[in-house]
Homo-oligomer: A and B are copies of this chain.
Amino acid sequence: VPEHEPDLQRSANWLAGAFRETGFPTVEVWPTDGGPAVFAEWPSPDPGAPTVLVYSHHDVRAAKDELWQQTKPFEPVLRDGRVYGRGTSDAKGQVLTHLEAVRALLALEADAPPVGLKFVVEGEEEVGSPNFADLIDRCRDRLDADFVVLSDTLTWSADRPAVCVGMRGLVHAALQVRGPVADVHAGAVSGVAPNPIAALAALLARLVDDEGRVAVPGFYDDVLEGSPEERRELAELTADEADWLRRSGTRAVVGEAGRSLGERLYLRPAIEIVSILGGDAVGASRGAIPAEATAMLQVSLVPDQDPQRVGDQLRDWVAANIAREVDYELTISPIMSPAYSTPPEHPAIPVLRECMSEGFGVPAGRMRNSGSGPAALLAQQLSAPVLFFGTGLPEDNWHADDESMAMDVLAKGATTLALFWQRIAESARPRETQ
């Protein structure tokens, strides 16, 4: 959003300063056609140590002041061990967790982190990273790494932490339905005019069937079933639905029959209607049947669904199911991302799980994330596997009001990362020098 360009620049400058204060020898703010990204680099003194690229973002979602109870969105406060404010958990707090980890390692009388560390903290994640592919392309040499750690994720709970091994993908679509040529007095034509709200509702009502499955033909064709082991672990991790409801604020668990909560969240695709508008919904009503009504859809993708193909399936389904009496326009956003899975045999996964267990003081499980991010883009463009480490929690209210982050989770996350960098460096060291 153009009016927030100065805010994004200020945010980038602040973060660059924080990297410099921590000791990073190279810190740069990279402009893009949208929000600027922050790049920081600290090579390892050990030429045999691996280099890791950490990805996160410093931009945030819009916030509605009037809905916030604890503080104003951009005036953070610390209360009862939680810091409240827009971006505290998604994802500024996750970047701070990394900085705290590096500071902790330096405090242990080291002169530099044990692994080569690069950070790219972008400024456009919340709008789908429209310029990030171009940025990676231009700066590929600077971003080169043995693997990527994407830190913009949720873990299951502070008591039941879990390593994330994948993220769903995302396709956005907007469907505009058109009835009368112009808004027309409902009293004068009710009962005979094609109502675009009714036609849109009738279509959307058919999007998900009685079993909670998306009714778009072909939608599940490319969906991979998770391994029996992962499905069992997910079912076990997410078994306490009452706990989930309390923390997510979602009041009820719905969705695909015969699948555990965790499976629905991470291994199954979904389509949600995130907005709808028709008629004089706000302000003075003209009592008219509106000329148009619009809904915005978000499709969550899982491996191996192809975003383009899903877009085509949605297009075919709308064409086949929309009422004949209305016109419509379906716009599939060109900003789309497929799902991503970390290669299951990557040796750093068990190391991270071990460090997270120590950092949080309880055994860490395995999960995925249901939201999306540029994981597939990073993996493909940098030809490097992507791992995930995030400290967000469902109760942190990402994108919603009263977003917050628990300080003790930040500390546990920092401990996990400090241990992780040490163990990764150790495991890369030739045996004879140990």
Contacts and interface: CB of A to CB of B under 8 A. Distances in A.
Given A179-B250, A189-B370, A281-B277, A184 B397 contact: yes
Nearest to A293: B276
A274 B285 CA distance: 9
Contact of A180 (B181, B183, B250, B255): B250
Interface in A172-213: 179-195, 197-198, 200-202, 204-208
B279 A276 contact: yes
B285 A277 contact: no
A270 B296 CA distance: 28
B191 A370 contact: yes
Given A62-B283, A287-B399, A198 B191 contact: no
Contact of A288 (B194, B206, B399): B399
A34 interface: no
Interface string A108-140: 000000000000000000100000000000000
A5 B378 CA distance: 60
19 contacts: A64-B286, A182-B400, A187-B298, A187-B399, A188-B248, A191-B265, A191-B272, A194-B252, A198-B273, A201-B276, A205-B206, A274-B279, A274-B280, A275-B290, A276-B277, A276-B278, A276-B281, A279-B296, A285-B296
A320 interface: no
A189 B251 contact: no
A363 interface: no
Interface string A229-246: 000000000000000000
A156 B283 CA distance: 31
A205 B205 CA distance: 6
Interface residues of A, number: 93
A279 B290 contact: no
A3 to B, nearest CB: 10
A107 interface: no
A414 interface: no
Given A275-B279, A275-B280, A293-B276, A191 B270 contact: yes
A164 interface: no
Interface string A252-294: 1111100001001100111111111111111111111110011
A194 B254 contact: yes
A97 interface: no
A180 to B, nearest CB: 5
A326 to B, nearest CB: 8
Interface centre among A187, A206, A325 (most CB of B within 10 A): A187
B370 A193 contact: no
Contacts of A269: 191
5 closest Cβ pairs, A-B complex: A187-B371, A191-B270, A275-B279, A277-B281, A205-B205
A184 B248 contact: yes
Given A189-B370, A289-B272, A201 B205 contact: yes
A287 B281 CA distance: 20
A278 B286 contact: no
Nearest to A294: B281
A431 to B, nearest CB: 43
A362 interface: no
Given A191-B264, A194-B250, 20 more contacts: A61-B284, A184-B397, A185-B399, A187-B298, A187-B300, A187-B370, A191-B270, A191-B300, A192-B261, A193-B254, A193-B272, A194-B254, A200-B276, A201-B205, A273-B278, A274-B280, A274-B287, A274-B289, A277-B282, A286-B399
Contact of A192 (B254, B281, B401): B254
Contact of A190 (B1, B249, B293, B370): B370
A245 to B, nearest CB: 9
A371 B265 contact: no
Contact of A62 (B179, B274, B285, B296): B285
